[in-house]
Structure 1
Amino acid sequence: MAQDSNRSALRAPKVALSTASVYPEPTSAAFEIAGRLGYDGVEVMVWTDPVSQDVDALRRLSDQHGVPILAVHAPCLLITQRVWSTDPWTKLKRARAAAESLGASTVVVHPPFRWQRAYAREFERGVWRMAQETDVRFAVENMYPWRYRDRELLAYAPNWDPTEDDYRHFTLDLSHTATSRSDTLKMLDTMGDRLAHLHLADGTDSAKDEHLVPGRGDQPCAEVLERLAASGFDGHVVVEVNTRRAMSSQEREADLADALAFTRLHLSTSRLADS
């Protein structure tokens, strides 16, 4: 009975909106939409939008809309290879400094690309070293093999699946588990208490990284949320969906409202069952 009482008293994880979810609208739009829809905060995807790279501009947006910045996604994408330097370690140091300055608890980072050989060799040790220098969590994200027709390219090193290596914190991305055709619940169990961050999106076994609104693919989004709520997960849940095909700003906002409602519903379901 005491255990059930403690569970029901657990505070639900905060739900943030990734600024990538409003693309092609700018970073500033994510703060406005997150505030209007009632998200608990944002995750800033640092990319080619100059505002996403500017700590002072981000702080002003956070203050203006009353929306805290909960996480910073380091510029690890192909299109951001020159953002915040071409040196990957400099990128991580700047992401850490931004997170510390903005009050964010997490830096999301991808495994290195295979052609970043020196970075890949030192990545595991380097992430541990940087994590020991700050209270900010460096959460390494699961990725996926690149596919073209019947061919598969392993683009990441040491691996697209970070659970095969030793990291203190992970980000679990459910669109990426779909694209990699992984057993999502098995990966969740493998990450265990090292799971610090969730990128919530849906997907199918398409070769494309779809980032569908949760509930519109075949990933166990509801079950993952319910498990996290029941376990006392102390990280953040970030809605990271693709709204590029939205025909209007209103349609985009409706998708993001649906994603938030889905997330809150399933984060509360387990807690209600235990109460």
Structure 2
Amino acid sequence: MTAGGRPRIGLSTSSVYPESTAHAFTYAAAVGYEAVEVMVGIDALSQQVDAVRELSQHHGLPVSAIHAPCLLFTQRVWGVEPWGKLERSAAMAQEVGAEVVVVHPPFRWQKEYARDFVNGIAALEESSGIAFAVENMYPWRASRRNLEMYLPGWDPSDEPYANTTIDLSHAAIARSNPVEMAERLGPRLRHIHLTDGTDSAKDEHLVPGRGDIGAAAFLQHLARTGFAGEVVLEINTRRCTTREEREADLRESLEFALEHLALVDDDTH
């Protein structure tokens, strides 16, 4: 929480891809973000504790979360053993002062990992003191049917995780109402990936306000209910052709978050 009573607003380093983790900190400081979430990925800097700590100190920006390398294209980052990746993510979080590790549920083909995922996450939280905020995912759409690609499932509200993440782009693909998911999760909602999406099979990660998942209403719900976790902008700026264009998207996203996280006066709305 900030001194003004609203959640802190951070920037995910993935929002400036294909630029680097170092560039992400530079953009965040220039635009006015209050923290950074580090996506551990193919950028070598993102994998190095000392480099992340130095970037945080240089720019005066705290690291709000570490996103574990559990995407398809990061399957070989920090080895191939999934529990080892999570242990290293927790160790990095501890070293750089982050309280949260964001993690996706296992893919269906990771059967051994998935078998004890819920209990394993709880055990990691207890041993590390770090919150592992399990993120909502989505069914993969193939022709006229949905493919369930995650175990134990894509909706974290169906499982007894102590800490969870809602990603609005993922909610859009799943055609899942994020406010209703937040209500089901209650105090277990720890982390937000603020973005946007449409009724598309693609994980769009639009600038918030450019899709139709209801990003403004979702943020207003968070403000009304006193959400005290982290709000992190995670958008796709790969189509931006200049630094100025990318910075404009990041600035528009921050302004959207600030506007709609302002405390709502229920007597006038």
**Cα gap change, 1:160/1:61 in structure 2, threshold over 3 Å: closer, same or farther?**
same
> Taking every aligned residue pair, what percent have the same amino acid on both sides?
54
Q: 2:140 touches 2:149 (CA, 8 Å); kept in 1?
A: yes
Over 3 Å off, 4+ runs: 271-274
Residue 259 of structure 1 is matched in structure 2 by: 253
TM-score w.r.t. structure 2 length? Answer: 0.95
Partner residue in 1 for 2:65: 71
> Aligned equivalents of 2:102 and 2:226: distance in 1?
21
* In the alignment, structure 1 residue 26 sits paired with structure 2 residue 20: yes
Asked if 1:143 corresponds to 2:134, the answer is no
Which of 71, 91, 95 does residue 85 from structure 2 map onto? Answer: 91
**1:28 alignment partner AA:** A
Q: Secondary structure at the match of 2:179?
A: helix
1:183 is aligned, of 177, 181, 184, to: 177
**2:240 is matched with which residue: 246, 251, 254?**
246
* Structure 1 residue 56: Cα displacement: 0.3
Partner of 1:108, secondary structure, is strand
Question: What is the aligned residue count?
Answer: 266
| Structure 2 portions without partners, runs of 5+ | none
Give how far 1:11 is off.
Answer: 1.4
Judged with a 3 Å threshold, the aligned counterparts in structure 2 of structure 1 residues 272 and 11 are, in CA distance, closer, same or farther, namely farther
TM-score, length-scaled by structure 1: 0.93
Cα pair 1:10 1:232 within 8 Å, conserved: no
- Separation in 2 of the partners of 1:21 and 1:151? 30
Aligned position for 1:113: 107
Q: Which structure 2 residues correspond to residues 189-208 of structure 1 after superposition, within 5 A?
A: 189-208=183-202
Letter matched to residue 259 of structure 2: L
Give the deviation of 1:154 after TM superposition.
1.3
- Closer, same or farther in 2 for the Cα pair 1:190/1:45, shift >3 Å? same
Aligned-pair CA distance for 1:191: 1.1
For residues 141 and 232 of structure 2, the distance between their equivalents in structure 1, rounded to whole angstroms, comes to 26
- Segment of structure 1 superposing worse, 105-114 or 157-166: 157-166
State yes or no: 1:227 paired with 2:208: no
Aligned to 1:132, the other structure's residue is in SS state helix
Matched, 1:42 2:42: no
Alignment of 1:46-57 (within 5 A): 46-57=40-51
| 1:101 has 2:62 as partner | no
Question: Contact (CA 8 Å) 2:165, 2:193: kept in 1 or not?
Answer: yes
What is the CA distance between 1:105 and its match in structure 2? 1.2
Q: Which residue of 2 aligns with 1:5?
A: none
Q: Write the letter of the residue equivalent to 2:207.
A: V
- Tell me which residue corresponds to 1:237: 231
- Of 144, 147, 168, the residue aligned with 1:153 is 147
Root-mean-square deviation (CA, aligned residues, Å) is 1.5
In structure 2, distance between residues paired with 1:224 and 1:10: 19
Q: Who is 2:6 aligned against?
A: 12
Task: Kindly indicate whether the alpha-carbon contact (under 8 Å) linking 1:143 and 1:180 is maintained by their aligned counterparts in 2.
Answer: yes
* Aligned residue number for residue 262 of structure 2: 268
